[in-house]
Amino acid sequence: MNKRIIIVGGGFAGVECASKLVKRMPRGAAEIVLFNSENHLVFSPLLAEVVGSSINPLDVVVPLRQLLPRVFCRTEEVQMVYPESNEVEYLSEYGQAARMTYDHLVIACGNTTNLNLVPGMADHGLALKTIGDTASLRSHIMQQMERAEVCSNPDRRGWYLKFIVVGGGFSGVEVAGEINDLVRDTAKYFRGFTEKDVNVTLIHSRDQILPEISSGLRDFAAAKMKRAGVTLVLNARVVVATPEGVGLQDGQFLKGATIVCTIGNASAPVIERLGVPKDKGRVTTQADMRVTGSENIWAIGDCSMTLNTYDGQPSPTTGQFAERQGKQCAQNIIRVMKGEPTRPFAFKQLGELCSIGGHSAVADLFGLHLSGFLAWFVWRGIYLFKLPTWARRVQVGFDWAWLLLFPRDLAHLRTRPTDRVSHAYYKAGDFIIRRDDPATNLYIIERGEVEVIRATPKDPGGETIAVLGPGSFFGEKALLSDAPRVASVRARTPVELLVMGKNIFNQVSSALGSFRDALGQALNRRTIDVWKGRPQAHDLMSRTLLKEVLEPVPRPLLTPATTFQEVSQAFVEHSNEFFYVCGEGETLEGVVMMTDLFRARDASAAATTPVSEFMSKNPVALAADDSCAVAVEAMREYRLKSLPIVEKKENRKLVGCVRIRRLMGFVLKHTLAGKASNSAPEQK
Ligand SMILES: Cc1cc2nc3c(=O)[nH]c(=O)nc-3n(C[C@H](O)[C@H](O)[C@H](O)COP(=O)(O)OP(=O)(O)OC[C@H]3O[C@@H](n4cnc5c(N)ncnc54)[C@H](O)[C@@H]3O)c2cc1C
């Protein structure tokens, strides 16, 4: 055997290409090697059916080795392609890089979902791309129903039963329809809620869902989904996802415990690293599917931008096109090997099919428009027939027949790890921890600020007792004592957190001495009540607002562009211990101390290095309307002698600062001198 054809990707395009090469090439003419990250092909058109418990997860995957017995299938991920030496690099068994040469290379690695396009989506949204995603989503939905069943708070129960799907294309519509059917059909088995409590919302950025199909079918699909209970939110863009729900561009916030994200297609990492011409992240090809400028590298399926010479349009990213390109690519490779001319890609689309839930679908087949039950019946028939093996066809056919006689399966296996380190994103005002919640996580603040709130008999709504910012953590007290939370924590600004599960917390804190020490110190600081035996002082500090004891902003104010040399000069000329760094409109962006200056010098900062590169960014700041008691707690927490004060927590416009000395003097003046009165003191 002297030739080798490598295919990267075992989806519709790669599998079809490999299968046609095997069938049409004389035996032994070339070795065919297929690299795929998983050992199976995922039949994605039926993924939504798995979410809705209509079929079992394993029924939509087909093992590549059984599907392609004469192909060398390798479950390895290709990292790099080296066109100049005709080699691919992949991670071998022990994680070492290894290379393999090729005579022809077919890139068929599809695309991926980039949840990072919307802040918070990667942490709080669920994707629908792999079988793992689907199983997690199904399990998550079941979990929400179980939680709603035993939840005594009606608001929270309603929240568990709100399901949000982002994206009104084929996969968004199909999964919204399936979730709606699943939850409504099975609500009768629960005592704590009824079908009326369920809410499934589909959010789409345009004025109509399913932009790919004819307007008549689109209208039918929209009307049918609304009748089935799905709320359509059109012309709406999701701008943020939080644990509570999603925020829209117009400022609306939709609450829901489940967020499914079907938007955000991105190139596979190997494509990003590939130095070939691309269009919108897809590899551009010549008409015969060879990568532009290449003789022996081909790109097919979702990762390629190939013109369909049948209608002069770029091929859409559908399974239908991927399969057809795979087939024709195999034929063209064989032609090249025989020294014959290749043929341009040309394909007449057969039609579009989309299931919309409630035993209904819309179909556009050979120009014939079908909708409703008949379309759904055709949809099922076609996909059953298109499944790659008879074994899967029989299994799926059996699952579907089963559902005609018996209810959907409500059992679920927990597929998400119960304990892990993850990220979380909260918008201002969201509760991160509520009093009496069980101790489950430690939270480390990466960006933004939170406030710790304790309900008192005087103020059942809660009094802010501390403000924490980046680098600080909370939640440790309940974990260490294994007791319920005694205070609530609320996001004061948009906040990003690192969340460490209880088991990981226990393991790290028992193994790492310095972590344990830091926890111990924090615990000491936070449990020692400085106000003990000084009720008058506490009362005074709680009633006095910071604006009443404000000192002027230390001058000069620096801007982020102030250079290292100018900062050094400022320290020489002024007796300040620090300088604030403000952007436009005196918005607080950072603080720089003498130690920051020395650290920057040690790191070889140049005279022109801007202060924004070595200042402490976004320092914790209190608002003029916060109480002096909160300022005392913040200064203890951060071991600071002063704090910047901003006009409002939302705008961070610097209005002054407050020093511990001044606060102590204020307390002494009003308590020792016997001047503390029950009314707030006069403004200074
Ligand atoms: C939920 C959902 C529903 C859909 N419904 C329909 C439908 O009804 N009709 C329709 O026509 N289309 C549908 N599609 C689209 C269709 O699935 C895709 O167009 C099709 O799968 C593209 O095939 P592909 O071979 O290009 O890529 P994929 O099927 O995505 O396969 C690519 C494979 O390459 C692997 N891979 C990636 N990078 C590497 C690497 N570096 N090394 C090794 N392996 C790698 C991946 O793991 C994957 O297995 C749907 C898609 C989704 C997600």
pLDDT for 262 beyond 80: yes
pLDDT for 285 beyond 90: yes
Best substitution site from 109, 130, 165 to test ligand 1's pocket, by max atoms within 8 Å of Cβ? 109
Using an 8 Å Cβ cutoff, are 608 and 599 in contact? no
Best substitution site from 318, 352, 355 to test ligand 1's pocket, by max atoms within 8 Å of Cβ? 318
Q: What residue owns the CA closest to ligand 1's atom 19? A: 318
111 CA to centre of ligand 1 in angstroms:
7
Average the pLDDT over 34-49 and give the result.
93
Mention every residue, 6+ apart, whose C-beta is less than 8 A from residue 39: 63, 64, 65, 73, 75
Q: What are phi and psi of 130, to 5 degrees?
A: -110, 170
95 CA to centre of ligand 1 in angstroms:
25
d(CA 626, CA 629): 8
Q: Is the CB of residue 37 below 6 angstroms from any atom belonging to ligand 1?
A: yes
Q: Work out the angle at residue 213's Cα, subtended by the Cα atoms of residues 211 and 217, and round it to the nearest 5 degrees.
A: 110
Which of 300-309, 447-456, 538-547 is the least confident region? 447-456
d(CA 7, CA 34): 5
Q: Is the CB of residue 363 below 6 angstroms from any atom belonging to ligand 1?
A: no
Write down the pLDDT at residue 550.
93
pLDDT band at 415 (very low <50, low <70, confident <90, very high): low
Q: Are strands 199-203 and 162-166 parallel, antiparallel or unpaired?
A: parallel
d(CA 131, CA 45): 12
Write down the pLDDT at residue 310.
94
pLDDT band at 459 (very low <50, low <70, confident <90, very high): low
Q: What residue owns the CA closest to ligand 1's atom 1? A: 171
Mention every residue, 6+ apart, whose C-beta is less than 8 A from residue 471: 445
Length, in residues, of the chain: 684
Write down the pLDDT at residue 305.
97
Mention every residue, 6+ apart, whose C-beta is less than 8 A from residue 312: none
DSSP state, 554? Answer: P
Write down the pLDDT at residue 409.
74
Q: Is the CB of residue 487 below 6 angstroms from any atom belonging to ligand 1?
A: no
Burial 220-231, CB ≥16 within 10 A → b, else e: bbbebbeebbbb
Q: What residue owns the CA closest to ligand 1's atom 51? A: 44
Q: Is the CB of residue 426 below 6 angstroms from any atom belonging to ligand 1?
A: no
d(CA 409, CA 253): 33
Write down the pLDDT at residue 28.
86
Write down the pLDDT at residue 56.
85
DSSP per-residue codes, 398-418: HHHHHHHHSPPP------S-S
Write down the pLDDT at residue 684.
36
106 CA to centre of ligand 1 in angstroms:
15
Residue type, 141: I
**Mean pLDDT computed over every residue of the chain:** 89
60 CA to centre of ligand 1 in angstroms:
13
Closest CA relative to residue 8, chosen from 84, 100, 128, 96? 100
Using an 8 Å Cβ cutoff, are 415 and 421 in contact? no
Q: Are strands 265-267 and 258-261 parallel, antiparallel or unpaired?
A: unpaired
Between residues 514 and 374, the one the model is more confident about: 374
State the first-to-last Cα distance of the chain, in angstroms, to the nearest integer.
92
Instruction: Extract the tokens encoding 366.
Output: 């050979």
d(CA 176, CA 174): 6
Average the pLDDT over 454-459 and give the result.
68
Residue 468 falls in which region: left (phi positive, over 0), alpha (psi -120 to 50) or beta? beta
Q: Is the CB of residue 128 below 6 angstroms from any atom belonging to ligand 1?
A: yes
357 CA to centre of ligand 1 in angstroms:
23
Between residues 58 and 567, the one the model is more confident about: 567
Q: Is the CB of residue 109 below 6 angstroms from any atom belonging to ligand 1?
A: yes
Q: Is the CB of residue 172 below 6 angstroms from any atom belonging to ligand 1?
A: no
Q: Is the CB of residue 317 below 6 angstroms from any atom belonging to ligand 1?
A: yes
Using an 8 Å Cβ cutoff, are 138 and 53 in contact? yes
Write down the pLDDT at residue 217.
86
**Which atom of ligand 1 lies nearest, measured to the CA of 300?**
26
Instruction: Extract the tokens encoding 586.
Output: 């005196």
pLDDT band at 604 (very low <50, low <70, confident <90, very high): confident
Helix axes 513-527, 502-511, angle to 10 degrees: 110
Give the chain's radius of gyration (CA, Å).
Answer: 31
Best substitution site from 12, 128, 362 to test ligand 1's pocket, by max atoms within 8 Å of Cβ? 12
> Which range, 91-100, 167-176, 391-400, 645-654, is most confident?
167-176
pLDDT band at 407 (very low <50, low <70, confident <90, very high): confident
Alpha helical stretches, state H, 589-627: 594-602
pLDDT for 280 beyond 60: yes
Mention every residue, 6+ apart, whose C-beta is less than 8 A from residue 654: 553, 557, 580, 582, 586, 587, 588, 621, 644, 645, 646, 647
Q: Is the CB of residue 165 below 6 angstroms from any atom belonging to ligand 1?
A: no
Q: Are strands 104-107 and 282-284 parallel, antiparallel or unpaired?
A: unpaired
Strand 104-107's sheet: what is its strand order?
Answer: 72-74, 31-35, 4-8, 104-107, 297-299
Q: What are phi and psi of 661, to 5 degrees?
A: -60, -45
pLDDT for 586 beyond 50: yes
Which of 318-322, 335-339, 582-586, 676-680 is the least confident region? 676-680
d(CA 6, CA 34): 6
> Which range, 110-114, 502-506, 526-530, 531-535, is most confident?
110-114
Task: Return the beta strands (E) in 514-668 as ranges.
Answer: 578-582, 588-593, 616-617, 622-623, 642-646, 654-659
Question: How many Cα atoms sit within 13 Å of 426 on the Cβ side?
Answer: 24
Q: Work out the angle at residue 132's Cα, subtended by the Cα atoms of residues 40 and 323, and round it to the nearest 5 degrees.
A: 40
- If DSSP codes are grouped into helix, strand and coil, which group holds residue 512? coil
pLDDT band at 532 (very low <50, low <70, confident <90, very high): confident
Q: How many helices (H) and strands (E) does the chain have?
A: 20, 41
Using an 8 Å Cβ cutoff, are 115 and 121 in contact? yes
Q: Is the CB of residue 167 below 6 angstroms from any atom belonging to ligand 1?
A: no
Q: Is the CB of residue 380 below 6 angstroms from any atom belonging to ligand 1?
A: no
Average the pLDDT over 276-300 and give the result.
96
Q: What residue owns the CA closest to ligand 1's atom 39? A: 109
Q: Is the CB of residue 298 below 6 angstroms from any atom belonging to ligand 1?
A: no
Q: Tens digits of per-residue pLDDT, 193-233?
A: 999 999 999 999 999 999 878 888 889 999 999 999 999 99
Looking at the chain, the whole-number percentage of residues with pLDDT higher than 90 is 56
pLDDT for 667 beyond 80: yes
Average the pLDDT over 114-137 and give the result.
88
Write down the pLDDT at residue 680.
47
Q: Is the CB of residue 644 below 6 angstroms from any atom belonging to ligand 1?
A: no
Q: Work out the angle at residue 596's Cα, subtended by the Cα atoms of residues 594 and 597, and round it to the nearest 5 degrees.
A: 65
**Which atom of ligand 1 lies nearest, measured to the CA of 303?**
26
Q: Is the CB of residue 264 below 6 angstroms from any atom belonging to ligand 1?
A: no
509 CA to centre of ligand 1 in angstroms:
42
Q: What residue owns the CA closest to ligand 1's atom 42? A: 77
510 CA to centre of ligand 1 in angstroms:
44
Using an 8 Å Cβ cutoff, are 7 and 17 in contact? yes
Q: What residue owns the CA closest to ligand 1's atom 26? A: 301
Write down the pLDDT at residue 178.
94
266 CA to centre of ligand 1 in angstroms:
12
Q: Is the CB of residue 88 below 6 angstroms from any atom belonging to ligand 1?
A: no
